[in-house]
Amino acid sequence: MTANTWRSPQVTVATSFADRLMGMRRRDAKGLLLRSSSVHAAGLASPLRIVHVDAEGTVLHQDLLTAGRRISARGPWILELPIGTGGPDTGAQLTVLPSSQA
């Protein structure tokens, strides 16, 4: 998979405390983009793919978040994806589009 062909599932952009609190625990959650310095796995039922993104939208790194772990962000944005969802390559440039353009 190349950086030019990756397409994310529909992602919720966390704009409120409630969005962040519920996060990927929502039944319909396919992905969550949040501005954060870290993420934790309290109450996490299954592992997540954590994609670290810088201020310009460039993918810096990916991690696997499992129960009981905490991961410090390598950039100001974190994209949480279900573990079965492939992620973008390091160096890929991400753009957020409104859901009407999906």
Q: What pLDDT score does 1 carry?
A: 42
For residue 76, tell me if it sits in a domain.
yes
Radius of gyration of the chain from its Cα atoms, rounded to whole angstroms: 13
Q: How many domains does the chain have?
A: 1
Domain residues for the domain of 55 are 12-88
Question: Is residue 72 assigned to a domain?
Answer: yes
In a domain, residue 40? The reply is yes
Q: How far apart are CA 8 and CA 47, in angstroms?
A: 17
Would residue 99 count as lying in a domain?
no
Task: Judge whether 30 lies within some domain.
Answer: yes
Rounded to two decimals, what is the model's pTM?
A: 0.82
Does residue 67 sit within a domain?
Answer: yes
Residue ranges, the chain, pLDDT below 50: 1-3, 101-102
